[in-house]
Amino acid sequence: MGRVTTRRPVLRIDLDGGERRRPDTLVVEEPLEIRVDGEVLTVTMRMPGHDVELVHGLLRSEGVIASKDDVTSARYCVGAVQDEQGLQVNTYNVIEVALLGQRGLPVSTQRGLVMHSGCGLCGKTSIDAIRQSLPGPLDPDRAGGLAPAVLVRLPDALREEQTVFSRTGGTHAAGLFTTGGEPVVVREDVGRHNAVDKVLGWAVLEEMDVRDLVLVVSSRASFEIVQKAAMSGVGVLATISAPSELAVAAADELGITLAGFVRRRSLNVYSHPHRLASSP
C-alpha cells in the first residue's frame, strides 16, 4: 500500500497573527487502474489503502459480481511501470482482477471510465437500469424500527472514526452502522464514491448481510451512491448534506429510506420513512 498522507511546507497567513511557514499534512491522492480479465475497466483517483475492498465494492455496484466467490483473484500488477534504470516495479496503482469462469463484463460496464475524486461515474443511465440489475427487491421490513434519535448521532460517530480527516481535513468517509448506532466498518477516501465502495466491498469480502444496517456518508446523496446502496441491499442511507433530485427519485423508486441533512437534532427524510420508529 502507498502512503496515505504526506508532509508539505505551506505559508500560513493569519490576518490577526501575521505570516509564518510551517509543514502541513496532506492526504495522498493517486490513480488506481482496475483491470478485469485483462481489460481496463476504469481508473479512479483514490486515497491508497483498502484497494481490494474498493474493487469488490465497485464490481458489486456495477452488477459485475454477486459475491466474493465470483472473483478468483485480485492483486496488484507487479511490473506496472519501469523505473529510471528500466526495471519493472510495482506502483500499487494497478489491480488485476480475474473473474470466475471468465464471466466477462456486462455490456454496460465495457467502457473505459476516468473517475475523478469529486464526481464518480456510475455507469448507469437510468433508474430502470438499476432496477433491472438488482439481485432482488429491498425488503421493506429490514432495518426497521430505526430511532431518529439514533440516526442523528451517526454522523458524529462516523466523524470519530475518521483518523485521516483528523490529520488532513481532506477526506470523505462512509460507514455501516447497526440500527442501535454501533459502527460495523468505516472507510475514508478523497472521493465519497470510493469510500462507499470500500465499505460495501468490505461487506462483500466478509460476506456480511447489510440489509439490517445503515449506510452513512459524510457528503451529499448523489444518484450513484443510491445506486451503490441499492445494489448491495442497503435499505437506509443517511448523509450529512443534501440529496440531488435524481437521488431522491431513485431512492423512492428502489425502496431506500433516504435521509439528508442528518445533524445532531434534526434530519430530513426524503423517501420511505416507514423504517423510522416514530414515523407512520
- Cα distance between residue 127 and residue 122, in whole Å: 12
Chain centre to alpha carbon of residue 14: 35
Q: Are 160 and 182 in contact (CB under 8 A)?
A: no
Active site residue 77: no
Which residues, in sequence order, are CB contacts of 119 under 8 Å at separation 6+? Answer: 222
- Give the C-alpha separation, 92 to 110, whole Å: 23
Grid cell of 278 as nine digits: 416514530
Alpha helices (H) in 119-191, listed in sequence order: 127-133, 148-151, 154-160, 163-168
| Strand pairing category for 113-115 and 88-89 | unpaired
Hey, how many other C-beta atoms are within 10 angstroms of the C-beta on 229?
Answer: 27
Among 114, 119, 149, 277, the one annotated catalytic? 119
Q: Which residues, 6+ apart, have CB-to-CB distance to 44 below 8 Å?
A: 31, 32, 34, 54, 58, 115, 117, 120, 191, 194
Spell out the residues 6+ positions from residue 89 whose beta carbon is closer than 8 angstroms to its own.
Answer: 79, 80, 81, 82, 83
Helix or strand or coil: residue 273?
helix
Q: Read off the amino acid at residue 176.
A: L
Catalytic residues, which ones?
119
